[in-house]
A and B are shown apart, each in its own frame.
Chain A
Amino acid sequence: MALAKLKSDATEARLVGVTLPEGAAWSNAARADALARVRQMGLPTKRDEYWKYTNPSELTAAEAPKAAVFDAGEVPLFDAVDRLKIVFVDGVFDTDASDELTGEGVEIERLADAMAADIHWAKELYGVLETRGQTPVERPLAALNTALATDGVVIRATGKVAKPIHLVYLHKDETSDAVLHNLVKVETGAEVTLLENGPAAARFSGCLEVEVADGGSFHHVRAQGRDHERRTVTHCFARVGAESSFKSFTLTVNGVMTRNECVLEIIGDDAIAHVAGVCVGDGNDFHHDDTVFITHDALNGESRQVFKKVLRNGATGVFQGKILVKEGAQKTDGYQISQSLLLDDDAQFLAKPELEIYADDVACSHGSTSGAIDETALFYLRSRGVPQYDARNLLTLSFMAEALDEIADPSLAEELRDRLEGWLARRS
C-alpha cells in the first residue's frame, strides 16, 4: 500500500499547476477523462514490470531536464523529398516555416483547430485508441499526453495522397518540454505516407493515433534526432481494418533517453501490420527502448516486428515486444525479431520478446539474438583486402539491413542508410 501512496504522490507532484488546454466540449471531456486515467493508473516508476529495463523518472519529472541544442551542420533529412512540410519548433506550430495545409486527397488541420470545433471527426479518434491501448498494459504517459497535448496535426486521407506529409520537429530552446498529439484517419482505400523527424524539444512526448479503414494504407517513416541530450517518449496507437496495410519504421540516433511504444490492433481480416526500427547508440548516457504490442483479432492477419540495435560504449538497448493472438484469430502469421550488435564490452541489450496465443491454427515465431561482430565474417572480408574499418562498417550495415528493408520507398531507405553510414564514419 505504501507503494501505491508513493506513486500517487509522485503523480500529483507532476500534475501540480497543470492546466488542460481549452476547446470544444467534447475535447475538454476527452482531456479531463485522460487526466482521470493518469490519476487512476499513476505515473510509471522503475518498479513497474513494464518499466523494468527503463527508468522513467526523467520522463515523469515535473520539470524537463535541460538539453543542449545540437546543430548537426548537415542537410536536414527528407529535404530532397517532394513533400508537404509542417514545422514545429519546441512543440509549437511554425506557420511561416510550414507549407499551406492543403493537399490532394487529404484534409489537414492543426490539432487546436480541430479540438475547438463542436463537430469534428477527431472526436472519434482523439484519446480513443489510446484508451483502448491501456489494456492489458497500462501506458499512463500516453494518457498524460492526451490530457496535455498543446499542438499537433489531424490528418484525414480520403484518397491516394500525392505527397508525403512531413512533420519536422525542431529543438531550439534547451529547457523546452513539448507535448504533441497527432491523428491520422485513413479512409477506405486511401493511402498516405507520414514522415517525421527531429528531436522536437529538450523533452518530448509524442502521441500518434492512426485509424486505417478497410483497404487503406498507412506508411510511416520516422527519424529521431541527433541531439545528444534529448529525452523522448512516443506512443503510436493504431487500429487497422480488413485488407489494410500499416507500416512504420523508426531510426533513432543519439539522445539520452528514448522510449517508443507502438500498440497495434488488427481488427479486420487479411490485414498487414509491420513495425520496424533501427537504433544506433554510443555512450553510457544512451538508453533506447522499443516497446511493441500487436494484437491479432481477425483472420489471416500478418504482423512483423523487426528491430535492430547497434550499441557501443556503455549504451543500453531495450526491446519489449509482444504478439497477442486472440481466440478465433486463425491463420495469423506473426513474426518478431529483435537483435543487437554490441560493438564493445560495455554495451547491453535487454529483451523480453513475448507471445500470447489463444488460437491453434497460427504460425508465430520470435527470435532474439545478441552478440559481437562475427569474427569469421570479419576475417573473410579482411582476407579479401577490405580494410578492418570498412569491413566492420559493412557488417554493421548488413546487420541493420533487414529492418531498413521494411521501408517501402527505396529512396527513403537509401537516405536513412546514408545517415547511418555517416554515424559509423564519425565513430571510426
Chain B
Amino acid sequence: MSAIKDVEVKEGVDQETVDAVSKLSGTYKYGWNTEIEMDYAPKGVNTDIVRLISGKNNEPEWMTEWRLEAFARWEKIEEPTWAMVSYPDIDFQDIYYYARPKSMEEKPKSLDEVDPKLLATYEKLGIPLKEQMILAGVEGAENMPAEGRKVAVDAVFDSVSVGTTFQKELEKAGVIFCSISEAIEKHPELVKKYLGTVVPPSDNFYATLNSAVFSDGSFVYVPPGVRCPMELSTYFRINAENTGQFERTLIIADKGSYVSYLEGCTAPKRDTAQLHAAVVEIIIEEDAEVKYSTVQNWYPGDENGVGGIYNFVTKRADCRGDRAKIMWTQVETGSAVTWKYPSCILRGDDSQGEFYSIAIANNMQQADTGTKMVHLGKNTKSRIVSKGISAGKAQNTYRGLVSMHPKAKDSRNYTQCDSLLIGDKCGAHTVPYIEVKNNSSRVEHEATTSKVDDEQLFYCRARGMDEEEAVALVVNGFCKEVLQALPMEFAMEAQALVAISLEGSVG
C-alpha cells in the first residue's frame, strides 16, 4: 500500500529519517506532541501583548511602533467572509500569541546548545537540524554535486526560531539566512527598507493581525549576482495547545541573484482548532529569481472536523525589477481550513510569475486557495496550474485573479485549473477573476471538473492493483504537472502525500 516502502533507500541514509518519511503513508503521522516546558504570554491580544512580543525579541522602537500601528488598525477592521469556508467564530482573546520553549530563554549560540528535546522533535519530523549532506531517502542524491545536496534549515517551534543550519557557509557566499527576530537585531536597515512593502500592514485582516503580533519567522537576503549555494528552508512546528502561530517571512533577492526556498509545516493532533496566520513577503530585483515551494501538512482535524489548523496566510512576491522571476509551488494537504493566495506582482518589464498548486481536501477539510497575477509591466508572463482534489465531505475552492493593467502591453497569462472529486459528498469550486485592460495581452483560462476516469481505474485494476492504489496512481498522473515543479527534495514527499490524503476515500 505504501509507495514509500518500495523506494530504495541508499546506504548512509539515517534510518530514523527514513522512518519519519515512511510514516507519511499512514494517517496523520505528525500528530504527536513534544512534552516540553513552555513560557507563555498571557492569553489574548492587546497593546501590552504586542509590546511584550516586541520586547521578547529585543526590537528597536520603530519596530514596536510599526506593530502598534498595525494593531490599532486591526481593532477597527472586520474578519473577511467572502471565502467559501465556514468555521465557528474565532475568539481572538482566547489564544496564546506567544509560546516559547523555556530552554530558549537565552538564545542558543549554536545548534549544539539547543535543547536536545527540540532537536529530537525535528529529527522525528524528518528534518534533522544537522548540517547533513544527504537528504533522507532521495534516490540519486549522493551523485549530485556537493553543493546541490545541502539544505539549510531554519526551524520555528511555536513562536520562536530554535536554530538555523549552515549559517556560516551561507555567510561566505554573502547570503543572510536567519530568523526574522535576529534580522531585526542584526540587519535593521534591510528589514526597515523592505518589511511591509509587499504586504502592507493594512493589507487584510489576518495580515494586519500578523503585523502586530508576529513572533518569528525567516529572513533571507541574497546579494546581487549571488546564486545561493544551497536550498534554504523553514520548518514550522506548532506544538503548544491553544496557541496561534504568526510567523513572518521576508525574502529579498537582489539584482541577478537566485534562491530556492522550501517550507514545511506540521502540528500535533488537538481537539481544539488552532490559528496560523503567516505573512510571506518576497522582493525580487532585476534579473533575480526566487523559487518558493511549500508542502503544507498542518493537522487537518479528524474525520468529524474536530480540531485542526486554520491556515489563513498572506503570501506575495513583488517582481520589482525587469526580468525578475518568481515561481510558487504548493502542495496543500493539511489544515482544517485554508485561506491562502500566494500572489505575484509583475511590476518589472519582462518579469514572470508562475503558480503551481495541488490542494487536497479530505474528510471535513475546507480549502479556499489560488493566486493573483497582477501584470503591471510590459511583456510580463504568468502561468497558473492548479489542481484541486476533494474527497470525503471536503470543499475545495480555487480562487484567483489575473489582472492585465493598461500599461502591461504584450503580456501573457495561461491558467489551467482542474478539479477532481472523489465521492459524491464533497465539493469543488472555481472562482476566477479575469480583468483585461489592454488588447495586446492574451489571457487564457481553462478549467475542468471530472471524476477519476473509470477507464483508467479499470486499466490499473486489470493489472492487479487494488482500488486505492489505482486511484492514487491516477491522481498522481493528474498532479504530475505540479509535482514536477517541486524541487527534488520535495518530490518524493509530495507524491506520498498525494496518496495519503486519498486513502479510504474510494467507494
Partner of B430, one of A340, A361, A362, A366: A366
Q: Are the CB atoms of B424 and A330 closer together than 8 Å?
A: yes
Secondary structure type dominating chain A contacts = strand
Q: What 0/1 readout, one digit per residue, does chain B (421-432) give for beta carbons within 8 Å of chain A?
A: 111111111111
Given A340-B436, A350-B435, A362-B451, do A328 and B424 touch, yes or no (CB 8 Å)? yes
| Stretch in A16-24, A144-152, A367-375, A419-427 with 4+ CB within 8 Å of B | A367-375
Which residues on B sit within 8 Å (CB–CB) of A343?
A: 439
Given A367-B446, A368-B434, do A357 and B439 touch, yes or no (CB 8 Å)? no
B293 at interface, CB cutoff 8 A: no
B371 to chain A, nearest CB (A): 15
B394 to chain A, nearest CB (A): 11
A97 to chain B, nearest CB (A): 43
Find the B residue at minimum CB distance from A344: B439
Partner of A363, one of B409, B422, B429, B449: B449
A327 at interface, CB cutoff 8 A: yes
Which residues on A sit within 8 Å (CB–CB) of B419?
A: 355, 357
Q: Are the CB atoms of A368 and B445 closer together than 8 Å?
A: yes
A365 to B430, CA, bound (A): 10
B390 to chain A, nearest CB (A): 8
A372 to B439, CA, bound (A): 5
A342 at interface, CB cutoff 8 A: yes
B374 to chain A, nearest CB (A): 14
Secondary structure type dominating chain B contacts = strand
Q: Are the CB atoms of A327 and B424 closer together than 8 Å?
A: yes
Which residues on A sit within 8 Å (CB–CB) of B32?
A: none
Q: Are the CB atoms of A365 and B434 closer together than 8 Å?
A: no
A353 to B423, CA, bound (A): 24
A352 to B436, CA, bound (A): 12
A327 to B393, CA, bound (A): 11
A174 at interface, CB cutoff 8 A: no
Given A370-B442, A371-B442, A372-B440, do A349 and B449 touch, yes or no (CB 8 Å)? no
Q: Are the CB atoms of B448 and A365 closer together than 8 Å?
A: yes
Which residues on B sit within 8 Å (CB–CB) of A359?
A: 421, 424
A188 to chain B, nearest CB (A): 30
Q: Are the CB atoms of A370 and B446 closer together than 8 Å?
A: no
Which residues on B sit within 8 Å (CB–CB) of A372?
A: 439-440, 442
B235 to chain A, nearest CB (A): 35
Q: Are the CB atoms of B439 and A371 closer together than 8 Å?
A: yes
Partner of A352, one of B404, B409, B421, B434: B434
Find the B residue at minimum CB distance from A334: B449
Q: What 0/1 readout, one digit per residue, does chain A (334-354) give for beta carbons within 8 Å of chain B?
A: 000000101111011111111
Which residues on A sit within 8 Å (CB–CB) of B426?
A: 358, 360
Find the B residue at minimum CB distance from A53: B435
Which residues on B sit within 8 Å (CB–CB) of A327?
A: 424-425
Which residues on B sit within 8 Å (CB–CB) of A363?
A: 448-450
Partner of A350, one of B429, B434, B439: B434
Q: Are the CB atoms of A352 and B433 closer together than 8 Å?
A: yes
A332 to chain B, nearest CB (A): 9
A200 at interface, CB cutoff 8 A: no
A177 to chain B, nearest CB (A): 32
Find the A residue at minimum CB distance from B403: A350
Q: Are the CB atoms of B449 and A348 closer together than 8 Å?
A: no
A280 to B361, CA, bound (A): 42
Given A347-B439, A365-B449, A367-B447, do A352 and B431 touch, yes or no (CB 8 Å)? yes
B332 to chain A, nearest CB (A): 19
A30 to B215, CA, bound (A): 59
Which residues on A sit within 8 Å (CB–CB) of B432?
A: 351-354, 368
A341 to chain B, nearest CB (A): 8
A-B CB contacts (within 8 Å), total count? 117
A370 to chain B, nearest CB (A): 4
Given A350-B434, A350-B435, A351-B434, do A356 and B427 touch, yes or no (CB 8 Å)? yes
B443 at interface, CB cutoff 8 A: yes
A350 to B438, CA, bound (A): 11
B441 at interface, CB cutoff 8 A: yes
A364 to B443, CA, bound (A): 20
Which residues on B sit within 8 Å (CB–CB) of A367?
A: 444-447
B82 at interface, CB cutoff 8 A: yes
Partner of A369, one of B404, B429, B439, B443: B443
Q: Are the CB atoms of B427 and A361 closer together than 8 Å?
A: no
A94 to B100, CA, bound (A): 81
Partner of B421, one of A340, A342, A344, A357: A357
Given A367-B445, A368-B445, do A345 and B440 touch, yes or no (CB 8 Å)? yes
Which residues on A sit within 8 Å (CB–CB) of B56?
A: none
A391 to chain B, nearest CB (A): 17
B452 to chain A, nearest CB (A): 9
Q: What 0/1 readout, one digit per residue, does chain B (381-413) give for beta carbons within 8 Å of chain A?
A: 000000000000000000000001010010000
Given A349-B436, A351-B434, A371-B442, do A356 and B429 touch, yes or no (CB 8 Å)? yes
Q: Are the CB atoms of A354 and B425 closer together than 8 Å?
A: no
A348 to B408, CA, bound (A): 13
Given A352-B431, A355-B429, do A365 and B439 touch, yes or no (CB 8 Å)? no
Q: Are the CB atoms of A354 and B424 closer together than 8 Å?
A: no
Given A356-B429, A357-B427, A359-B421, do A366 and B439 touch, yes or no (CB 8 Å)? no
14 A-B pairs with CB atoms under 8 Å apart are: A327-B425, A351-B432, A352-B433, A352-B434, A353-B432, A355-B419, A360-B422, A361-B451, A363-B449, A365-B447, A369-B442, A369-B443, A369-B445, A370-B436
Q: Residues of A with Cβ closer than 8 Å to B?
A: 49, 327-328, 330, 340, 342-345, 347-372
* Closest CB pairs A-B (n = 5): A342-B439, A360-B421, A371-B442, A351-B434, A355-B430
Given contacts A349-B436, A357-B421, 5 further A-B contacts (CB under 8 A): A348-B436, A350-B433, A355-B428, A365-B449, A371-B442
